[in-house]
Amino acid sequence: MSRRDKMISKIKELMYEPDYIRNIGIVAHIDHGKTTLSDNLLAGAGMISSELAGDQRFLDFDEQEQARGITIDAANVSMVHKYKDEDYLINLIDTPGHVDFGGDVTRAMRAVDGAVVVVCAVEGIMPQTETVLRQALKENVRPVLFINKVDRLINELKLDSQELQQRFIKIIASANKLISNMAPKELKKEWLVKVEDGSVAFGSAYHNWAINVDIMQKTGINFNDILDYCNNENQKELAQKVPLSDVLLGMVVEHLPSPNVSQPYRVPSIWSGDIESPEGQGMLKTDPDGPLAVMVTDVSIDKHAGEIATGRVYGGTLEKGTEIFMVGSHGKARTQQVGVYFGPERVNTDRVPAGNIVAITGARNAVAGETICDIDRKIDAFEGLEHISEPVVTVAVEAKNTKDLPKLIEVLRQVGKEDPTVKMQINEETGEHLVAGMGELHLEIIAYRINEKGVEIETSEPIVVYRETIAGTAGPVEGKSPNKHNRFYIEIEPLDEAVYQAIVDGKIKEGRVKGKDLVAKFQEYGLPKEQARKVWDVYDKSIFVNMTRGIQYLDEIKELLLEGFESAMDEGPIAKEKVMGIKIKLMDAKIHEDAVHRGPAQVLPAIRKAVYGAIMMAEPALLEPIQKVFINTPQDYMGAATREVQNRRGQIVDMSQEGDMSTVESTVPVAEMFGFAGDIRSATEGRCLWSTENAGFERLPRELQGEIIRQIRQRKGLSDQPYGPDHYLG
């Protein structure tokens, strides 16, 4: 029996032993060494040669990933490791570090219970490290810390043991600050990472060695020995004495939870059903015989097998050839194959029980965030996946050959499935297909993938996505239905900052408000009591409040009113961009008693026109997307780097210095960021490191507003100037 076959049969055995399973993700800022670290674990399990570990980047199997040297898609692999004479099944997900692919990290965190947070010893905790650690903690995923590239501190920066210690203390303190702010209350103390208990390790993924307290005690090797080995350029011998895979594995097994430990505290926070029900209890106990509950975290399209859904089995057992029900889309399907990932290939097994990460073929039309259950036992859906940032850059995509048009629509649908952070929109009037993504690189990769699927396309220059809002108040404004029998009186004002922020942070959930669910939440964030009790809808960071009393027939047209409000928020009156950050209060209404005269054709235009007219009377304004830009550069080039930021309407937020390196933190409008990579490289002669993070939306400077509105409207085939309030209210 070959080594591979042995491992596969061992995986099939261990799948049924939740105590010996660890579902882990490797997360970090870009280029901090995640994929290199994963290589070491694979080498330790005998899946790749230890000579190649650190160089092979086995989990970057996509052509683009190899060409660009970055991870683009989260990659799954299952492997078996021996630790203290026991075999453990490690289901590993290697995630991307680039901000444009943050959606993959969010989705991966739903499938795992523990995360290895990799931090580069030279750069320390960077913005994207904070973002991915936040994403992990938000999903109740327990972290351990691996400080990578320690050899560079010794060989390049020539730090002595005292300076090394100071550097490490600073990194650990920053990580713990985030953990103590975000971890579940009852687990905070236990989850803090500490050198003394072995939940922090130091090493070099490239040179395959690592140490933590446990291995120091076992081998007697300490930091002074590490300094000697690095200074004498003898890291090969060091890697034999303290192999990274042993240290990492020890950390994963000792400190990261098994499904049996994690599901009791994770399930209540990601599943809103009744925990006392058989389904709830089955998930808490990771019961393979309980009702089926699978959360889909990713969908990919395989040339041969079609759609493959990846998911975490929280309860029950998923079997090959059984009928399943998809809760979100109310669809039924039959599983053709189920199995586990073995790096680039999938290994089919007949069943995958609770506590494992599964690959499913045949779950047609599943999307990331879908809940799968037994056909005859419908369950409540898992909480939806909330992506931290939203698409801010758009390109128009056209097929080079008209005959490819039907295929292009199919391919766009596939790409949208594979990456839910991509937004697709087909403009019926202009016939163009708009693809919105997180940034320039994200859109480049999407365009490459569309071509790869056999459709040659041309893309426009990137277009930035704006938002509409108001700076003043207006009302009461009267909106009349086309037949003049229904009248609605609304007031409009900017949404309170605290409420807006709570919606952005996910503390107030979007959607139609049912009953008294959110009253306390609204009041907590400062909404007056009488308004908090009457919020009808939270939609795209705006709210609709019904302030009327005892108006006949209002309940019967409630859904229509909210539909009208939502459609007005989807396309605002300034430039047909989305509207956000406003509060609409319905103050009064006159409604016709005959149902025939108060149908959709009357109510929808009446409320939409009232909203548009009110926005145009309340100092309408555009918001533009902003990115935080962090630049790390030698002191001599700092002036050139800050000039680069300021030339792009950027604001310097903070500057700090460590040794001869300067760090500049700034905010820059996304519209000004195109071509930034080349410019900053030439300004600093290639000696700077830089990264970005999305930072929401800010008001567009007044002097630019008129010109930008005109450009957007021309692009959309509208008149140059928006209509005034009279157009809607006359």
pLDDT category at 543 given cuts 50, 70, 90 is: very high
pLDDT of residue 123: 81
pLDDT of residue 494: 93
363, 434 Cβ separation under 8 angstroms: no
Give the highest mean pLDDT range of 96-100, 653-657, 666-670. Answer: 666-670
Record the tokens describing residue 20, joined without a space: 């010996």
pLDDT of residue 98: 45
Look at 709 and 370; give whichever has higher pLDDT: 709
Which residues of 576-634 form beta strands (DSSP E)? 578-579, 582-590, 620-634
Q: Between helices 102-111 and 127-138, what is the axis angle to 10°?
A: 30
pLDDT category at 73 given cuts 50, 70, 90 is: very low
pLDDT of residue 256: 92
pLDDT for 549-595, tens place per residue? 888 888 888 999 999 999 999 999 999 999 999 999 999 989 888 88
Q: How far is CA 303 from the centre of its chain?
A: 26
pLDDT of residue 709: 92
pLDDT of residue 126: 75
Strands 21-28 and 86-94 turn out to be parallel
pLDDT for 321-376, tens place per residue? 888 888 877 788 888 888 887 766 778 888 899 999 888 888 777 777 788 888 88
pLDDT of residue 672: 87
Measured CA to CA in angstroms, residue 46 lies from 7, 60, 237, 318 at distances of 9, 18, 20, 28
pLDDT of residue 387: 53
Q: Coil, strand or helix: which one is 199?
A: coil
Alpha-carbon gap, residue 415 to 412, rounded angstroms? 5
DSSP 8-state symbol, 271: B
Secondary structure tally for the chain: helices H, strands E:
25, 34
Alpha-carbon gap, residue 41 to 210, rounded angstroms? 12
Record the tokens describing residue 492, joined without a space: 């409009």
267, 295 Cβ separation under 8 angstroms: no
Is residue 68's pLDDT more than 60? no
In this prediction, residues 427-431 reach a mean pLDDT of 57
Is residue 89's pLDDT more than 80? yes
Measured CA to CA in angstroms, residue 93 lies from 6, 37, 112, 201, 225 at distances of 22, 12, 8, 19, 33
pLDDT of residue 172: 92
pLDDT category at 3 given cuts 50, 70, 90 is: low
**DSSP track, 424-438:** EEE-TTT-PEEEEES
Alpha-carbon gap, residue 12 to 4, rounded angstroms? 13
pLDDT of residue 335: 87
Look at 134 and 100; give whichever has higher pLDDT: 134
Alpha-carbon gap, residue 535 to 42, rounded angstroms? 53
Strands 357-361 and 306-315 turn out to be antiparallel
pLDDT for 153-205, tens place per residue? 888 878 777 888 888 899 999 899 888 888 888 888 899 998 888 899 988 88
pLDDT of residue 432: 67
Sign, CA dihedral 313-319-325-329, equals positive
CB atoms within 10 A of CB 10: 15
pLDDT category at 65 given cuts 50, 70, 90 is: very low
Average pLDDT of the chain is 81
pLDDT for 622-642, tens place per residue? 999 898 888 888 888 888 888
Alpha-carbon gap, residue 168 to 707, rounded angstroms? 50
Look at 666 and 517; give whichever has higher pLDDT: 666
315, 304 Cβ separation under 8 angstroms: no
pLDDT category at 33 given cuts 50, 70, 90 is: low
pLDDT category at 430 given cuts 50, 70, 90 is: low
Look at 619 and 396; give whichever has higher pLDDT: 619
533, 542 Cβ separation under 8 angstroms: no
Alpha-carbon gap, residue 561 to 607, rounded angstroms? 6
In this prediction, residues 383-401 reach a mean pLDDT of 71
pLDDT of residue 453: 74
pLDDT of residue 35: 67
Helix residue spans in 242-346 (DSSP H)? 244-255, 259-270, 278-284
Q: Give residue for tokens 């899946």.
A: 47
Q: Coil, strand or helix: which one is 667?
A: strand
Is residue 670's pLDDT more than 80? yes
Which stretch of DSSP H or E encloses residue 352?
A: strand 351-353
Look at 35 and 88; give whichever has higher pLDDT: 88
Which stretch of DSSP H or E encloses residue 166?
A: helix 161-182
pLDDT of residue 688: 74
In this structure, of 170-179, 440-449, 465-474, 599-608, the range with the lowest mean pLDDT score is: 440-449
